[in-house]
Amino acid sequence: MARIAPGHRDNDGKDRHSMATLELNSIDKSFGSAKVLHDISLSIQDQEFVVFVGPSGCGKSTLLRIIAGLEAASSGQIMIEDDDVSTLAPIDRGISMVFQSYALYPHLSVFENIAFPLRVQKLPRRELEAKVNKAADILQLSDKLHLKPGQLSGGQRQRVAIGRSIVREPKIFLFDEPLSNLDAALRGDMRVELSELHKQLNTTMVYVTHDQVEAMTMADRIVVLRDGRVEQFGSPMELYHQPRTRFVASFIGQPNMNFLPAKVREASASGITVTLPGDVTLSLPLNGTTVSTGDTIDIGLRPEHLRLQDDGQLEVHVKILERLGGLSITYSDVGGVRFCAALDGASPVKEDTTIRLGFDPAAAHGFDAQGNVLPRLGAPDFQS
């Protein structure tokens, strides 16, 4: 398969891969009196695939547009490869961007759409055709070059949009929710294709999505944003196993983490003892130095960490059962909150019955009233 290496070419014709690092220093952004980004500082490594994830309105797209140069930051500094690009026009930053709407020119053929940035650069015809054909080859669009975007499927349009950013050979690729207009099956395929593309191009990529599955599956590192602030920045596994806040814990993982209100009985650096709804008292390996006896905290349990067990710690009444084949998902009501368990597909569970669920205490998470984590003592260490 053809290969396009990013970076500049030296006089001897060899690819010299440039260090496409991206650094954000104290980025603030306000629209009028509404402050949408608060003091964002991030350091993204060369060739890293970083995903900004968060609910709508968290500022992730705005942050991406600031990196692209489509919006100006109210204050702060953007460094690409040690150059301050904060005030440069998008074209001078060495970035390219793929839009959620694809932003294809409906009146131009696929070829001309991909060639657009090269036409702007007034590239000689021969060189232009070579680059467009190469990109089309990578994206399997070679037989579609003469068509108009209106004649393509959603996935093909997405590829054309990616093609248009590939031919630029940018230092950094920016993606703004590129898969959200596709149906679920196609989205899965495109996720794999994008990951492959990242491997192939070996370029820094910054990707915005509201879909935690996309974030978990594609990212080297994930930035979880909430209300314009970085909630946590780390690898997918780190976010999954060591969420720093209740928000991150609830956002990462599918189905969502359960949170049970619990009363603290005893708390110390070596563990805590809590009482869960239903008067279940448990000792959990969580660092309890930030809480004290009598406090109400949230105990987080991931649905996939629960199992059917005769002497399990929790007794729940199954209200709804979803059979997915490989998994059986049960929904119950525990202490007034919805409680979900992802059990083995073959589990002998029925709706409107009472079952006992067990879990490994080491898999439990704890969050204080402010939503901050009580560090897990036995968590696998994914911090690098």
Q: Contact positions toward other proteins, by CB under 8 A?
A: 68-70, 89-91, 95-97, 99-103, 105-108, 116-117, 120-121, 148-150, 164, 168
* Shortest distance in whole angstroms from residue 58 CB to other proteins: 21
Kind and range of the H or E element at 178? none
Shortest separation between residue 341's beta carbon and other proteins, angstroms: 43
Tokens of 132: 């467009």
**HEC assignment per residue over 5-66:** CCCEECCCCCEECCCCCEEEEEEEEEECCEEEEEEEEEEECCCCEEEEECCCCCCHHHHHHH
- Specify the residue for token string 């005769």: 310
Of the pair 15, 112, the CB lying nearest other proteins is at 112
Identify which of residues 31 and 105 has a Cβ nearer to other proteins in the complex: 105
Nearer to other proteins, 208 or 276 (CB): 208
Least separation in angstroms between CB 52 and other proteins: 18
Shortest Cβ 73–other proteins spacing (Å)? 17
CB nearer to other proteins: give 94 or 303.
Answer: 94
The contacts of residue 126 (CB under 8 Å, 6+ apart) are: none
CB of 13 to other proteins, least distance (A): 25
Residue 196, classed as helix, strand or coil, is: helix
Residue 196 tokens read as 């492959």
Tokens 């650096």 — which residue?
A: 269
Cα dihedral: 90, 96, 98, 102 (round 10):
70
Judged by CB, which is closer to other proteins: 89, or 324?
Answer: 89
